[in-house]
């Protein structure tokens, strides 16, 4: 099938896509957007988090056919975002594998709750796993992004 959708504000298409192929695979391998990471492929780690029509999804769990004529925003679409700057400023990026999914999740959190408390932050990030930071730097980055000081 030919997949046609909007990705990061631009019309995109990929040919010869199998309907059951994951959106994650299409984004990374067919559309050349490597920011969305492939880790668990089971929707457990959050590394592949993207927006699909404004809702957070794990791209590894979305069949490519489900994205037909829909709007997808990846971490690349948030390139100038304050969240990314805050992650760098707080030292919340170590190996970087979880970072894209976390950035998208934090972006969503701050859009919903501009001044989140620690409980809000922890709940919003519960689906994102990080093996390097111990989460304190990530929490610091979210607080920094919320205050706009990044």
26-66 per-position pLDDT tens digit:
999 999 999 999 999 999 999 999 999 999 999 999 999 99
**Residues facing residue 58 across a β-bridge:** 49
Q: Where are the beta strands (DSSP E) in the chain?
A: 3-7, 10-14, 49-52, 55-58, 71-73
| b/e burial code for range 71-96 (CB count within 10 A of at least 16 → b) | ebbbbbbbeebbbbbbbeebebbeee
Report whether 146 contacts 125 (CB < 8 A). Answer: no
At 16 the pLDDT is 94
State the DSSP H helix or E strand holding residue 109, giving kind and residue range, or none if neither. helix 99-112
Looking at residues 10-17, what average pLDDT do you find? 96
The pTM for the full model equals 0.93
Identify the band that residue 19 occupies on the pLDDT scale cut at 50, 70 and 90: confident
Looking at residues 121-134, what average pLDDT do you find? 91
State the DSSP H helix or E strand holding residue 144, giving kind and residue range, or none if neither. helix 136-147
Looking at residues 92-97, what average pLDDT do you find? 88
């Amino acid at each position: 099938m030919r997949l046609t959708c909007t990705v990061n504000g631009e019309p995109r298409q990929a040919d010869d896509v199998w309907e059951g192929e994951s959106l994650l695979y299409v984004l990374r391998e067919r559309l050349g957007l490597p920011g969305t990471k492939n880790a668990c492929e089971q929707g457990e780690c959050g590394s592949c988090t993207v927006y699909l029509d404004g809702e957070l999804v794990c791209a590894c769990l979305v069949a490519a056919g489900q994205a037909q004529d829909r709007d997808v925003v990846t971490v690349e679409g948030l390139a100038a975002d304050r969240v990314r700057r805050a992650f760098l400023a707080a030292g919340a990026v170590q190996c970087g594998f979880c970072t894209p999914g976390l950035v998208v999740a934090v972006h969503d959190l701050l859009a919903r709750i501009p001044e989140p408390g620690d409980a809000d932050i922890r709940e919003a990030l519960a689906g994102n796993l990080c093996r390097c930071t111990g989460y304190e730097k990530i929490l610091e980055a979210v607080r920094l992004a919320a205050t706009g000081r990044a």
